[in-house]
Amino acid sequence: MTDIYLDHAATTPMTQEALAAYADAARRGANASSQHARGRVARRIVEESRERIAAIVGARPSEVIFTAGGTEADNLAVKGAFFAQPRRDVVVVGEAEHHAVLDSARWLATYAGAQVRYVPVSGDGGTDAGDLARVLDEADGRVAIASLMWVNNEVGTISPIAEIAAECRARAVASHSDAVQALGLCPIDFGKTQLGAMTIAAHKVGGPIGVGALVATRDFPLVEIMSGGGQERAVRSGTLDAPAIAGFAAALEQAAAGRESQVTRQRQIRDYLIDRVLAEIPHAHLRGVDPRVDATRRLSGNALFTFDGCEGDSLLFALDSSGVSASTGSACQAGVPQPSHVLMAMGLSEDEARGALRFSLGCASTKDDIDGLLAVLPGAIERARRAGQVGRMKKETVA
């Protein structure tokens, strides 16, 4: 059976280097907070990994706070910054943020009295620094945290994060960016962006699932949201997963070393995919920035299409039965049959947004994968459209 994996934006398989680093650290297993010799070995693994990760992302080692992944890091940034500033009651987020940010803001509104203000996105899925500035000014000094993502996880649009951080800094507003999709594929220098904090995760760059970090300056307002032993600057308690952290550092170093060549290779394969889909599939639409016009504003391995008359989940299952793995959008919303909030924020109708399918490339992706996809995609779309017609007829009959 065909096995084509085009869902690297959800998770990319662990590299051999990351697996080896993980296994080596796991064999030495001990708690990094323990004072005995084996505990000190685990602590050294953690701290050396922290230094390696910090060097790659342009941060100080003391600014890297390890978490159990991107979702936890986003929660820590948004909720931790809000509770650290009791005189500020406004949380600013982008309309097309990952749900880890959006739902953290909504949780604060429900349980902590926060007012949530939304920054609109453009028709291509990007955030304009001027739009952010207007939202910040309207809040009149009451913003506790502004969180805007670096790269959109569904359509791959790259936003001008340094400009966004500058608007926040000019107004003394704490800034945070979910940089999970940017890691390993965009040049990242945390210090130069002058962000207050950013989120990264290992499993997007070939590291283990279940480990990430909040990179936060020492003056970023932050209090713990999970109490315990006081690890990680006393803002993220819990036993550190030394093997996963070692795998994270190994994977990130490998990704950073090959970033430029990988970006060039992915762009070529991605553009080949776009050309073929638009040429061979009637009523297919590329959503987001067209990288053949401006390659700098879309992540190299991302292509999201909508297909008229299709339900994305039906199309996804049809492809899966043919051995092709793709996604309707964020995997964190898997199993939830609702249209993409990202595409609707971009101005698409609910029906249009329901027909979305995202293909995302990784280190192992090839043009042969695209040829294999296009061998089965037309038939999958035909079946999905027929299923959609039957569904609409049933709804009309009931109505």
Backbone φ, ψ for residue 146 (5° rounding): -120, 120
Catalytic entry in 168, 310, 332, 363: 332
pLDDT value, residue 391 = 56
Whether the pLDDT of residue 389 is over 90: the answer is no
Contact 301, 360 (CB under 8 A): yes
Residue 213's DSSP bridge partners are 66, 200
Per-residue confidence band for 387, with pLDDT thresholds at 50, 70 and 90:
confident
Name the amino acid, one letter, at 48.
E
**Taking the CA of residue 302 as centre, how many other CA atoms within 13 Å lie in the half-sphere pointing to its CB?**
29
Alpha helices, H only, 84-181:
99-112, 129-139, 161-170
d(CA 362, CA 259): 11
Q: Say which CATH superfamily domain 4-12+259-398 falls into.
A: Aspartate Aminotransferase, domain 1 (3.90.1150.10)
Per-residue confidence band for 139, with pLDDT thresholds at 50, 70 and 90:
very high
Fold of 18-256: Aspartate Aminotransferase; domain 2 (3.40.640)
Least confident of 111-125, 131-145, 181-195, 334-348: 334-348
pLDDT value, residue 182 = 98
d(CA 91, CA 144): 6
**Burial track 243-279 (b if 16+ CB lie within 10 A, e otherwise):** bbbbbbbbbbbbbbeebeebbebbbebbbebbebbee
Per-residue confidence band for 193, with pLDDT thresholds at 50, 70 and 90:
very high
**Hey, how many other C-beta atoms are within 10 angstroms of the C-beta on 342?**
27
Whether the pLDDT of residue 167 is over 90: the answer is yes
Element (H, E) at 52: helix 37-57
Residue 7's DSSP bridge partners are 360
Whether the pLDDT of residue 394 is over 80: the answer is no
Give the start-to-end residue ranges of the domains of the chain.
Answer: 4-12+259-398, 18-256
pLDDT in tens, 113-134: 999 999 999 999 999 999 999 9
pLDDT value, residue 28 = 86
d(CA 322, CA 317): 9
pLDDT value, residue 2 = 81
pLDDT in tens, 301-316: 999 999 999 988 899 9
Name the amino acid, one letter, at 376.
V
Q: Is 74 left (phi over 0), alpha (psi -120 to 50) or beta?
A: alpha
Whether the pLDDT of residue 282 is over 70: the answer is yes
d(CA 209, CA 253): 17
332 is catalytic: yes
pLDDT value, residue 386 = 85
pLDDT in tens, 20-76: 999 999 998 899 999 999 999 999 999 999 999 999 999 999 999 999 999 999 999
Residue 118's DSSP bridge partners are 93
